[in-house]
Chain A
Amino acid sequence: LAKTTQPISMDSYEGQEVNITCSHNNIATNDYITWYQQFPSQGPRFIIQGYKTKVTNEVASLFIPADRKSSTLSLPRVSLSDTAVYYCLVGEVDSSYKLIFGSGTRLLVRP
């Protein structure tokens, strides 16, 4: 089971780019890296998923170095509505595909 470590909290301002780094030193060969976003009193929302190098979608980019021991979620030009908890997850290698959430990173975007 690959454990993840990410900062407890981060502050930013509107319009800035935010990079949240996650460490997963024990990631297994078949594991994928997945990021979720959660607003208070709501269920988590899938943001992005990747295996190696770089993945980009309309919401974020995910950078994964060659050794895959860490990953960085990049949010371009954040707004107040991006204030949320962001979770980095590493997928289970067994067949159950259960999501193992850590404590996440609380991002606060200020005006």
Chain B
Amino acid sequence: ETGVTQSPTHLIKTRGQQVTLRCSSQSGHNTVSWYQQALGQGPQFIFQYYREEENGRGNFPPRFSGLQFPNYSSELNVNALELDDSALYLCASSLQLALEQYFGPGTRLTVT
């Protein structure tokens, strides 16, 4: 059984640029959630995808968008990057809608 994988591991972008982060869910999981974790803080919920549809969104602006594909992998897109977007971005998958979620190792994004 393959766990949740994310790519890339690290990324450095300039303010104003756009970025796409990718996540492959654990085998058999049809729900993917994205979280942002700033240094020293707990993860903050961005949004969730269930069977390719957005199923809940946290307090993040529209420049944070996402997709889920038929194989349940997912992308997180962030436009017009700001310095405060620098964080660890975590993807979590689960079987159906569940509180037991399996997290990937994250993508460390640095915006300069």
- Residues of A with Cβ closer than 8 Å to B? 32, 34, 41-46, 49, 87, 89, 91, 94-104
Residues of B with C-beta under 8 A to A41: 88, 105-106, 108
What 5 new A-B contacts, CB under 8 Å, besides A43-B91, A99-B33, A100-B45? A96-B55, A97-B56, A98-B33, A99-B92, A99-B101
For the complex formed, measure the closest distance between the CB of B67 and the CB atoms of chain A, giving whole angstroms: 17
Complex-state Cα separation, A100 to B97, whole angstroms:
15
Q: Does B58 contact A (CB under 8 A)?
A: yes
If A43-B90, A94-B56, A96-B56 touch, whether A101 touches B44 (CB-CB below 8 Å) is yes
- Secondary structure type dominating chain B contacts: strand
B55 touches A42 (CB 8 A): no
6 examples of A-B residue contacts, CB within 8 angstroms: A41-B106, A41-B108, A43-B104, A44-B43, A46-B101, A96-B56
Complex-state Cα separation, A96 to B91, whole angstroms:
15
A96 touches B106 (CB 8 A): no
Q: Does B100 contact A (CB under 8 A)?
A: yes
B97 touches A96 (CB 8 A): yes
If A94-B56, A100-B45, A103-B41 touch, whether A42 touches B33 (CB-CB below 8 Å) is no
Residues of A with C-beta under 8 A to B102: 46
For the complex formed, measure the closest distance between the CB of A102 and the CB atoms of chain B, giving whole angstroms: 6
Could you mark each residue 69-112 of chain B with 1 if its beta carbon is under 8 Å from any beta carbon of chain A, else 0?
00000000000000000001011101001111111111010000
B100 touches A49 (CB 8 A): yes
Residues of B with C-beta under 8 A to A44: 43, 90, 92, 103
B42 touches A87 (CB 8 A): yes
If A42-B106, A43-B104 touch, whether A97 touches B42 (CB-CB below 8 Å) is no
If A49-B99, A96-B55 touch, whether A43 touches B45 (CB-CB below 8 Å) is no
